[in-house]
């Protein structure tokens, strides 16, 4: 008997479905299994004959998303059904009304929140931002929309290898820009960590593999160290009759890379590659005392760093995270982070918001602290969503700025606790009390001392707000406030006044365009906006109406545009028009920019924010009116560009570069000595015949730091130079740095 591929696939579909039911079984109620089966059959029928890019049957995807929702987030029947059906309305002929008729309004509402908006968006806007805002509109009613979307995004990231490079970069960048911070905010640390690692795997594959290999090579040494470190703690905990588990938790590849990048250090200098986690079994009423007792035992054996104690048990984070963290000195001279928590706290730390439902029957005094923070945050999101006329990209930026922030705990004059994002100002506190208090705030007293509106609050501060009826909001306030609530209320208060100025500015711009006989299309407005460095059309009109942009300058824009038209090739608007133009020019169908070959047929330049050189992993980005810019995938601006405007990202690769020099920056750190500059310049100029554009040297207390801008052929040439410079006597560190010309 011959088994066809179709038979194998059908068996795999049944296996995945049965595994889902098996894992969901503990919480299924009467009739739930029948509803899940109905959803499965509906999805099978709707996606019949459809395949993913990998060639697999499409039904694999919704089943895997449902599995993540159950296993890794801890969601129930409603979410399983929604996950199985989440792509049905978007990709097939099924309508939301069909879902509502068959499965009820609750599931229909969730699926509607997960269904992307179709249609053409105004040029210069972001489809991703519009869809993200639409999805968040449902969050305020049902948080499961976001949780299922995170499961969907995680499975897409796990199967990213089957997509073309430009789509990999767009999806990975969207994930690190929006979805990983969102998972963090909802307390889903395991999902957040995996998303970050997968982002790095696709955005900077060589870096990811190198760190992963080094961490794997260190594992046996790390395991031996952890075993010796925890031995005395285990013995004492057992002697005191604690029920516990201890495990060493390695840092993720992304967090190691992030530390290397932010501190400018090589892998070998990242010392805290792991943390030790002690998980206790304890009744809710004894949890706090038990954790502090274990802290006492740990610090009996190892000296703690007093500056690194973090008590999130007495005051949990606003996403419900509870744990006691301390950093102690091991007997071998290494700092080790020790995390102490109960099994309930550990489950909430891993599964976040969804795990709170499991503990809804806890005594109210323990439950309140866990739930209030997240409910408050969802309330703040609801406030933001009321600002419906905000540009979607601005909205996403505002939303994102409040995702990754840690909290600061401050008190009212009467002793009530307020939790605000880290970096919050006195004005944020005023708006948190009431929008009217914020609108009339003239200053504050922090711990009885008078401070200005932009004073940054610290943990434990007691804050009293001072107001005046004569005070009114200023545009400057938006520059320093941190919270979405403050930003949205200030924008609201400024809106009426701003609308008048915008209308005046628009009238001036239209009048000038009429005088120049230019048709006022969206594209023209976008070109003027980009020329004057305004983020939106309204910002452009506001700057003109307010006098920040002299209306006579608009004539100059015309001259620059005419000059540019004469210089550059026909307009490329996005990846699709790029492909069409390239195919037309070369006679061959292709979608990749070949750097070094295509200069004569497609206009492109190298981005000054990251100065790519041959050998760097790169992508092309279609700008509004400056042609195609080539960026490194590790460029500081890459994530934002790819996540906001994925449709403008094009694939790019280097071809042969004949004697072309590229600008790169090298930073040197070492101990100062006579002749060190001469040794460095000799290697650069004489040995390797490299031309320097600029060199700046700074010495302080015997420490030497130099920054050199020089011209190299490619990454191999640059690496050779860096390795030679590292051998100079007194040089401790040599690294490449990104710099604007």
What tens digit of pLDDT does each residue of 491-513 get? 888 877 778 888 888 888 888 88
Could you tell me whether strands 618-622 and 628-632 are parallel, antiparallel, or unpaired per DSSP bridges?
Answer: antiparallel
Same structural domain for residues 197 and 217? no
Look at residues 159, 156, 223, 187 and name the one whose alpha carbon lies nearest to residue 72. 187
Q: Please give the DSSP secondary-structure letter assigned to residue 425.
A: B
Same structural domain for residues 646 and 710? no
Answer whether residue 327 is part of any domain.
Answer: yes
Same structural domain for residues 623 and 677? no
Q: How far is CA 50 from the centre of its chain?
A: 31
Same structural domain for residues 171 and 94? yes
Same structural domain for residues 24 and 143? yes
Beta bridge partners of 421: 407
Answer whether residue 369 is part of any domain.
Answer: no
Answer whether residue 615 is part of any domain.
Answer: yes
- Identify which of 195-209, 541-555, 677-691 has the greatest average pLDDT: 195-209
Could you tell me whether strands 324-329 and 618-622 are parallel, antiparallel, or unpaired per DSSP bridges?
Answer: unpaired
Considering only residues 198 and 535, tell me which one the structure prediction assigns the higher pLDDT: 198
Q: Pick the range with the lowest mean pLDDT from 73-87, 142-156, 320-334, 492-506.
A: 492-506
Residue 589 pLDDT level (bands cut at 50, 70, 90) = low
Vertex 389: Cα angle to 383 and 393 (nearest 5): 85
Q: Could you list the residue range(s) of the whole structural domain that residue 13 is in?
A: 5-202
Same structural domain for residues 280 and 355? yes
Same structural domain for residues 385 and 340? no
What is the average pLDDT value for the chain, to the nearest integer?
81
Secondary structure of 261-304 as H, E, C letters? HHHCCCHHHCCCCEEEEEEECCCHHHHHHHHHHHHHHHHHHCEE
Q: Which of 155, 184, 202 is the last residue of a domain?
A: 202
Same structural domain for residues 486 and 496? no
Which CATH number belongs to the domain containing residue 108 in this structure? 1.10.3210.10
Same structural domain for residues 415 and 510? no
Percent of the chain with pLDDT over 90: 17
Query: Is the whole-model pTM more than 0.85?
Result: no
Same structural domain for residues 462 and 450? yes
Residue 147 confidence (pLDDT): 86
Answer whether residue 366 is part of any domain.
Answer: no
Residue 546 confidence (pLDDT): 80
Same structural domain for residues 27 and 83? yes
Q: Which of 361, 388, 412 is the last residue of a domain?
A: 361
Answer whether residue 368 is part of any domain.
Answer: no
DSSP line for 488-554: HHHHHHHHHHHHHHHHHHHHHHHHHHHHTT----HHHHHHHHHHTT-SSHHHHHHHHHHTSS-TTHH
pLDDT at 525 over 90: no
Count the domains in the chain: 6
- Tokens of residue 231, six digits: 């031995």
Look at residues 368, 247, 374, 245 and name the one whose alpha carbon lies nearest to residue 318. 374
Answer whether residue 546 is part of any domain.
Answer: yes
Q: Which of 361, 384, 413 is the last residue of a domain?
A: 361
pLDDT tens per residue across span 715-735? 888 888 888 888 888 888 888
Residue 2 confidence (pLDDT): 39
Same structural domain for residues 309 and 409? no
pLDDT tens per residue across span 21-79? 898 888 888 888 899 999 999 989 888 888 888 888 999 999 999 999 998 888 888 88
pLDDT tens per residue across span 577-586? 777 776 666 5
pLDDT tens per residue across span 223-249? 898 899 999 999 999 999 999 999 888
DSSP line for 194-250: HHHHHHHHHHSHHHHHHHHHHHHHHHHHHHHHHHHHHHHHHHHHHHTT--EEEEEEE
Answer whether residue 634 is part of any domain.
Answer: yes
């Amino acid at each position: 008997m011959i088994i066809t591929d179709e038979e194998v696939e059908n068996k795999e579909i049944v296996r995945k479905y049965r595994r889902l039911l098996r894992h969901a079984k503990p919480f299924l109620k009467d009739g739930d299994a029948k509803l899940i089966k109905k959803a499965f059959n509906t999805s099978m029928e709707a996606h019949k004959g459809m395949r993913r890019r990998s060639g697999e049957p499409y039904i694999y995807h919704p089943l895997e998303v449902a599995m993540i929702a159950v296993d890794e987030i801890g969601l129930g029947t409603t979410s399983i059904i929604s996950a199985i059906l989440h792509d049905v309305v978007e990709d097939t002929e099924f309508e939301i009304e069909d879902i509502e008729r068959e499965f009820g309004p609750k599931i229909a509402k969730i699926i509607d929140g997960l269904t992307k908006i179709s249609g053409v968006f105004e040029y210069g806007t972001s489809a991703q931002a519009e869809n993200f805002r639409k999805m968040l509109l449902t969050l305020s009613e049902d948080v499961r929309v976001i949780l299922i979307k995170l499961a969907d995004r995680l499975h897409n990231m796990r199967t990213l290898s089957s997509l073309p490079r430009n789509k990999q970069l767009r999806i990975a960048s969207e994930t690190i820009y929006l979805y990983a911070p969102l998972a963090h905010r909802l307390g889903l640390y395991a999902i957040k960590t995996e998303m970050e690692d997968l982002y790095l795997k696709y955005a900077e594959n060589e870096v990811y593999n190198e760190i992963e290999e080094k961490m794997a090579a260190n594992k046996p040494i790390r395991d031996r160290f952890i075993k010796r470190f925890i031995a005395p703690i285990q013995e004492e905990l057992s002697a005191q009759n604690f029920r516990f588990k201890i495990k060493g938790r390695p840092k993720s590849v992304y967090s190691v890379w992030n530390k290397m990048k932010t501190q400018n250090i090589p892998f070998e200098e990242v010392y805290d590659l792991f943390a030790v986690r002690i998980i206790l079994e304890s009744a809710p009423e004894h949890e706090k005392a038990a954790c502090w007792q274990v802290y006492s035992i740990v610090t009996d054996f190892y000296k703690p760093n007093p500056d690194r104690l973090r008590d999130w048990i007495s005051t949990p984070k606003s996403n419900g995270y509870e744990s006691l963290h301390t950093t102690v000195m091991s007997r071998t001279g290494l700092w080790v982070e020790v995390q102490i928590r109960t099994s309930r706290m550990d489950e909430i730390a891993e599964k976040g918001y969804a795990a709170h439902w499991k503990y809804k029957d806890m005594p109210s005094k323990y439950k309140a602290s866990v739930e209030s923070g997240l409910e408050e945050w969802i309330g703040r999101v609801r406030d933001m969503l009321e600002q419906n006329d905000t540009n979607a990209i601005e909205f996403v930026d505002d939303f994102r700025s409040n995702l990754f922030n840690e909290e600061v705990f401050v008190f009212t004059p009467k002793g009530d606790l307020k939790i605000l994002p880290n970096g919050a100002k006195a004005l944020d506190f005023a708006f948190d009390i009431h929008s009217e208090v914020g609108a009339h705030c003239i200053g504050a007293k922090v711990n009885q001392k008078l401070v200005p509106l932009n004073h940054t609050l610290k943990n434990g501060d007691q804050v009293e707000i001072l107001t005046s009826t004569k005070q009114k909001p200023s545009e400057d306030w938006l520059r320093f406030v941190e919270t979405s609530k403050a930003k949205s209320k200030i924008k609201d208060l400024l809106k009426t006044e701003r609308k008048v100025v915008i209308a005046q500015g628009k009238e001036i711009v239209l009048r000038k365009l009429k005088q120049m006989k230019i048709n006022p299309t969206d594209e023209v407005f976008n070109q003027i906006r980009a020329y004057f460095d305004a983020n939106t059309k309204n910002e452009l009109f506001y700057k003109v109406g307010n006098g920040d942009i002299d209306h006579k300058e608009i004539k100059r824009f015309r001259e620059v545009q005419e000059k540019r038209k004469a210089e550059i090739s026909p307009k490329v608007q996005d990846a699709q028009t790029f492909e069409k133009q390239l195919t037309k020019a070369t006679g061959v169908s292709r979608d990749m920019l070949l750097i070094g070959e295509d200069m004569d047929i497609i206009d492109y330049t190298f981005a000054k924010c990251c100065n790519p050189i041959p050998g760097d992993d790169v992508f092309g980005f279609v700008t509004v009116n400056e042609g195609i810019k080539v960026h490194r995938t590790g460029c500081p601006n890459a994530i934002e560009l790819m996540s906001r405007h994925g449709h403008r990202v094009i694939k790019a690769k280097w071809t042969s570069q004949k004697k072309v020099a590229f600008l790169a920056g090298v930073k040197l750190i070492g101990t100062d000595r006579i002749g060190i500059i001469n040794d460095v310049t000799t290697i650069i100029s004489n040995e390797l015949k490299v031309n320097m554009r600029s060199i700046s040297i700074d010495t302080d207390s015997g420490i030497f730091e130099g920054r050199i801008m020089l011209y190299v052929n490619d990454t191999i040439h640059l690496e050779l130079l860096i390795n030679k410079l590292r051998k100079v006597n007194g040089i401790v560190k040599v690294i490449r740095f990104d710099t604007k010309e």
